Amino acid sequence: MKKLICLLLLFVSFFSNLSYAQDKREAINDFLQAIVPDYNQKIFIIQEKTSTNHVIDIFKGKTSKDSLTNEYKREEREEIKPPLYNEEHWAVMKKEYYLKIEKHNSWVANDFNYKNIEFFSSHLFIEFIVSHFEKHLPITNVFSFSEPIFYSANKYLVFKVGQGTTESINGLTDNYLIIMKKENGKWIVMSKSYQLDLFY
């Protein structure tokens, strides 16, 4: 009987992980489709995934120390506001994902629905952009993504996006923290907050 229960738990865990992986893949692709509707259009994606630690930190935003209580409080001007921001749910997300070592830290073609996709390393960003420019190749969209992570009892998926083009010699200056929710079988952007950092 115990063996049967263990087998059932293993099956449930296996299929849950498959479902979570599928949700993450769908969320990234639903986000991309809103920007690049044509799956045959060429796009470039930075191979390395952005750190989820960075995602968790910028989700919370800046904190400041109260001089009377000596407690750290989140600054009210942060873009992700309550009720979407919830300290308890954020703490659960941090415990689940912070400092977690990713088994698969690079994007592969099967992660995306696009047929004409090319990857390059972030370490060669400037060289790649310069080479593309010198060859007089068409201006093409360039993206970076973090691994989507679940938030608020798996109600939302959160990830960071860097966006630019092959003219972005100064890095991907359009950086956003994206929060998506699944509605009617499709992942919808609930929050898109601009981040003042660069991705190279």
> Mean per-residue pLDDT for 141-163?
96
pLDDT above 90: residue 72: no
Beta bridge partners of 89: none
pLDDT band at 10 (very low <50, low <70, confident <90, very high): very low
Residue type, 192: K
pLDDT at position 12 over 50: no
Tell me what pLDDT residue 115 has: 93
Q: Quick one: residue 178, left, alpha or beta (phi over 0 = left, psi -120 to 50 = alpha)?
A: beta
To which residue do tokens 């099956």 refer?
11
Return d(Cα 89, Cα 187) in angstroms, integer: 20
| CA quadruple 85, 55, 173, 75: dihedral sign | positive
Phi, psi (rounded to 5 degrees) for 43: -140, 155
pTM, entire model? 0.84
DSSP string, 70-124: --EEE-TT-SS-TTTS-HHHHHHHHHHHTTPPPS--B--GGG-S-SSEEEE-GGG
**What pLDDT score was predicted for residue 24?**
96
